[in-house]
Structure 1
């Protein structure tokens, strides 16, 4: 994940806007290239097909955003994205992968495990069974545009949209040191659960991430919205 502290001025011509169906191919491509730098992506690999699954899941609710550079020749103007979805208690009973990975893949299994840890601890649905929670699915920033504060800009826009749509909380799985520090230390998200990569057991009793040690844990965070 890109740093949220700008290292240089943001060009004024960059356009932040809601994600549309037409953006899905470019989101899929950018997801595939950027997620390779995340621990799970680097360890297990990632494909454009999986990126298409993320893009599709991100269009279920109008809560995902992209940034484009209109000075670039098209197609290929999309340079950053923040994809999200809205969860309800009813939707959480449906175990549907948010990528094109098989639901029995180790990555999907560990993500489902994180969701279960969050559900066991969250109080969002205790007082309001109809509550809505925004889930951050993925973030991607073209390496040529890192250091401009685009990740922070997308984050702020997504948080504003969460409030606008009546969400009472935001939830995110953080797989890397940078995202864990950002959400846990800088943004005041509460740690709701974690699992040590190397000790996670898949359904077949194996340890698919036994050699993944940096970072040590996969973590899930939540922030209540005022």
Structure 2
């Protein structure tokens, strides 16, 4: 029987908060890594989408990156976990700003739909109108650095930051089998809503994911923080 060797995390890798200077690298890393996610593989990913993710990830200082300082540069980022903070005021402002807009990006439309499925079920803002919720936006690990535990390290950093700044809960949309198993089975997140990819309809009635069947569902999860 072939033996498997578990790789250890190199000590020289540096995990730190994301800065504005990191946005171009995060955008490129997102564009390359999201292609391995079901939505990215099905619809394709553009660099512009990567820049949108990077921009949204800098609204609050809650996103993290891992860099390898031994790389020749100028590009040294090898992983990221991006997040933002949701509040009742921000959600209302976002809803007002997007009311009546036609979003021709089906991925953004379905992600927006998942956010509102979560809002219909969460009790976070009912019990505390001033509550803060950390929303995980995206995760990416350079394929050359997979198997080193960087995804778990970035997750722990993000969860610690959420507790540090007084978040009541964490919310995440999980698009793949692996992330659904991670959040729903291993980390104790509660399933708050799901939509079958093949049946989702956009505002104009299209079914952009009608041939996407693995996984069957896009899911949104929440975990309350103590």
Structure 1 length normalisation: TM-score?
0.93
Instruction: Note if contact 1:7-1:149 (Cα within 8 Å) is conserved in structure 2.
Output: no
Residue in 2 that maps onto 1:143: 143
Residue in 2 that maps onto 1:209: 209
Residue in 1 that maps onto 2:26: 27
How far has the Cα of 1:160 moved from its partner? 0.2
How far has the Cα of 1:151 moved from its partner? 0.2
Q: Name stretches of at least 5 consecutive residues in structure 2 with no aligned partner.
A: none
CA deviations 1:191-220 (Å, max 9, x no partner) are 000000000011111211100000000000
Q: Is the deviation greater in 194-203 or in 106-115? A: 106-115
How far has the Cα of 1:59 moved from its partner? 0.4
How many Å separate the matches in 1 of 2:139 and 2:167? 20
The 4+ residue runs of structure 1 with deviation greater than 2 A are: none
Q: What are the residue-to-residue correspondences of 1:153-168 with 2, within 5 Å?
A: 153-168=153-168
CA deviations 1:167-190 (Å, max 9, x no partner) are 000000000000000000000000
Matched position secondary structure for 1:129? coil
Residue in 1 that maps onto 2:81: 82
How many Å separate the matches in 1 of 2:160 and 2:207? 39
Which structure's CA Rg is the greater one?
Answer: 2
Residue in 2 that maps onto 1:3: none
CA deviations 1:11-63 (Å, max 9, x no partner) are 00000000001100100000000000001111111111110110010000000
Structure 2 length normalisation: TM-score?
0.93
Residue 169 of structure 2 corresponds to residue 169 of structure 1: yes
Q: Name stretches of at least 5 consecutive residues in structure 1 with no aligned partner.
A: 1-5
Residue in 2 that maps onto 1:114: 114
Residue in 2 that maps onto 1:71: 70
Residue in 1 that maps onto 2:17: 18
CA deviations 1:56-77 (Å, max 9, x no partner) are 1000000000000000011111
Residue 136 of structure 2 corresponds to residue 123 of structure 1: no
Q: What are the residue-to-residue correspondences of 1:185-204 with 2, within 5 Å?
A: 185-204=185-204
RMSD: 1.3
Residue in 2 that maps onto 1:49: 48
Matched position secondary structure for 1:92? helix
Aligned length: 217
How many Å separate the matches in 1 of 2:147 and 2:78? 13
How far has the Cα of 1:91 moved from its partner? 1.1
Q: Which has the higher contact order (CA 8 A, sep 6+)?
A: 1
How many Å separate the matches in 2 of 1:7 and 1:154? 19
